[in-house]
Homo-oligomer: A and B are copies of this chain.
Amino acid sequence: MVKLQQDRAVRTRETIIRGAAEVFDQYGFNGASISRIMKRAGVSQGAMYFHFKSKEDLARAVMNAQPDTVIPRLDSRGLQRIVDMTFVWAWQIQQDVLLRAGVRLTNEQEGTSVRDASPYQEWARILEITLRQAQEEGEVVASADVRQFSEFLVSACTGMQMYANAVSGRRDLPERVVAMWRILLPGVAAGRIAESIDLNPRRFV
């Protein structure tokens, strides 16, 4: 019985987060309101305030859900897994409102009352773990600073999606990701690993 109630609470929370993502994606942080999100998610005021106390709380939950929209779709390892992470991300940002809203909120922070560096740092942490393992297994050059490289990857992807959004409504983002890897792989891939990396951005579609 307690288990059933917990399941329902988890589902309600997810419903609210998805509703919030839809509203944030459409209106941005400043244009969104809790009442609009309640309506979109179809939940009562009681359910909303049980899970989230403020619009800032909701924004933080949406921003920090980004990795959940990407990581479960991966099945590769090593350097290919890093590449795939960026491919899946570039695809999902066009398909999944939860990821797109999370990215928008993360990048629009300066004009809002939300201040949270953790979405950047969490992506960097996930990349760093995989990169360090790839380095230990000899796929990444020993001289690479994997922490700096991970933070740089997050920065580059952040900027690429903004550039792509400005020039093509993000349609050319997958091609930009491929171009990035053609630039980065020669410096980071050890030995002849680069030749074995699949750079087809649609390998997950």
Residues of A within 8 A of B (CB): 28-31, 104, 106-111, 115-117, 120-121, 144-145, 148-149, 151-152, 154-160, 162-163, 165-167, 176, 179-180, 182-188
The 5 lowest CB-CB distance pairs between A and B, nearest first, are: A159-B159, A158-B159, A155-B159, A117-B166, A28-B111
Q: Point out the residues of chain B lying under 8 angstroms from A149, CB to CB.
A: 183
Q: Is the CB of B108 within 8 A of A167?
A: no
Q: Is the CB of A165 within 8 A of B110?
A: yes
Report the minimal beta-carbon distance from A68 to chain B, rounded to whole angstroms. 20
Name which of A109, A111, A180 has the most chain B CB atoms within 10 A of its CB: A111
Q: Is the CB of B163 within 8 A of A176?
A: no
Residue of B nearest to A166 (CB): B117
Q: Is the CB of A155 within 8 A of B148?
A: no
Report the minimal beta-carbon distance from A40 to chain B, rounded to whole angstroms. 19
Q: Point out the residues of chain B lying under 8 angstroms from A29, CB to CB.
A: 111
A188 to B180, CA, bound (A): 12
Name which of A104, A151, A167 has the most chain B CB atoms within 10 A of its CB: A151
Among candidates B31, B109, B158, B179, residue contacting A148 with C-beta atoms closer than 8 Å: B179
Report the minimal beta-carbon distance from A186 to chain B, rounded to whole angstroms. 4
Q: Point out the residues of chain B lying under 8 angstroms from A144, CB to CB.
A: 183
Q: Is the CB of B162 within 8 A of A179?
A: no
Residue of B nearest to A175 (CB): B148
A154 to B176, CA, bound (A): 12
A163 to B106, CA, bound (A): 10
Q: Is the CB of B158 within 8 A of A176?
A: no
Q: A111-B30, A159-B162, A166-B109 are in contact. Are A148 and B117 (CB under 8 A)?
A: no
Name which of A151, A163, A187, A188 has the most chain B CB atoms within 10 A of its CB: A163
Report the minimal beta-carbon distance from A33 to chain B, rounded to whole angstroms. 15
